[in-house]
Chain A
Amino acid sequence: MIVTPKIFARLAAIALLGVLLQISFFSRVTVLGVSPDVLPALVVVLGLLGGAMTGAVAGFAIGLLLDGSLVESLGGSSLVLLGVGYLTGLLRERFELRGALVAALACLGLTMVAELGFALVQLTLGVDAPVSLLIVRDLVLKGIFAFFVGWPLYIGLCRLLRAALVEEPRVTRRRQPAVFGA
């Protein structure tokens, strides 16, 4: 991804809007008893589009914005999301992963990884209460929600950041004209 000042402004606006939508909409609705978490999916899509560095920096910034906006301890979400962003970027760079379906599947898997990461950070810092097994249901459902969010998110961000994307030119085969009676 070629990050010009204009693209940087777009990325910042996407991060801001993503965090705002998450804390005022997605976190406040429940579907099947679980609130969707779209921020890992947003980081995954940015990582797929921009590569490991873009993913890591976007993850760090989005995590920082999230924790800061909720006036919570800083650093925990940043650490998890930067890891998810970097991992997505690496997957894209090593295996040349592209496409909306790949994005949706990556959102599913890596949202679960992110939720596991949040759990790991919290358990490392100490939890003063018993933990319900429903946390597993929460993790799986968040992953499934991310699958459905990942698809349109990838297509939308592809369009929004088209100017910055380094795409290999599509190879289109021209059909040779058929000559009859030659």
Chain B
Amino acid sequence: MDSRHKKISFRRNIPLIVKYIILSITLIIVLIPIIMIINGALKTRGEFLAHPYSLPIPPRWENFIEILKMNSFWRLVLNSFLVTSATTIGTVFICSMAAFATARIRFRGKNFVFNFLTLGLMFPVTIAILPVYLVVRQIGLIDNLWGVILVHTSFQLSFGVIILNNFFKSIPSEIQDASHIDGCSYFGFYWHILLRLSRPALASVAAIAAVFSWNDLMVPLVMLNSENLWTLPLGTMQFQGQYGTNWAMVGAFVTLSTIPAVILYLFIQRNLISGLTAGSIKG
């Protein structure tokens, strides 16, 4: 009786076991490239050439230390940090202002303005890069971090305005009416009430803008010439080009340049996910 019961529960669990097997295989495939690069980074160059697939025991930290000693590495981190934070802050403010107008104020031509601001969805920066480059050159912002920041911000606007517009619309109009009766101006309502009520949505927009700006290669590649202005993706690409065969060093560089992104990811995961899936789950 007991063994029969066991048998049944085992058979019932077969789909579950198959699920876990498939998911685990996928997991391994996802992790292999990441593990390989870290594994290489923890070896000396000689060890890597002799035993590429053995475990890095004992781990060698020399590659990491050497890169952390490079001023150029810290310069890249700083530049990326500047570009990403300015883009993120700019995107959040500019998008929330525009979305406030399109979601909460009645005015003529509102639909037109909203549709205009969402045009950016059709023109991703990769496609529009040459036209944008020509204009940035005309303005004189080539080889200037502001050029990168302004372009990054501009190309995040559409997505941000859409997310925030939807979110702002969901806030009851009574709150706005009450604040007006209490003598709050439009700006007062936006600044003191709306932004405070919309923190999760703002965080989502910020997360998406930050990830985009931190990872983007195209804009810095085209717009920055001076090495001391390069951002991390650009610097990483050049480093790989230069040290291409020294995989231990390249691995350490890649690992170090990923750490900020991974930490950021673990912190903002929830906001990032809710932003990316906002709206796409209806219907």
Do A and B actually bind? no
Binding site for A on B (CB under 8 A): none
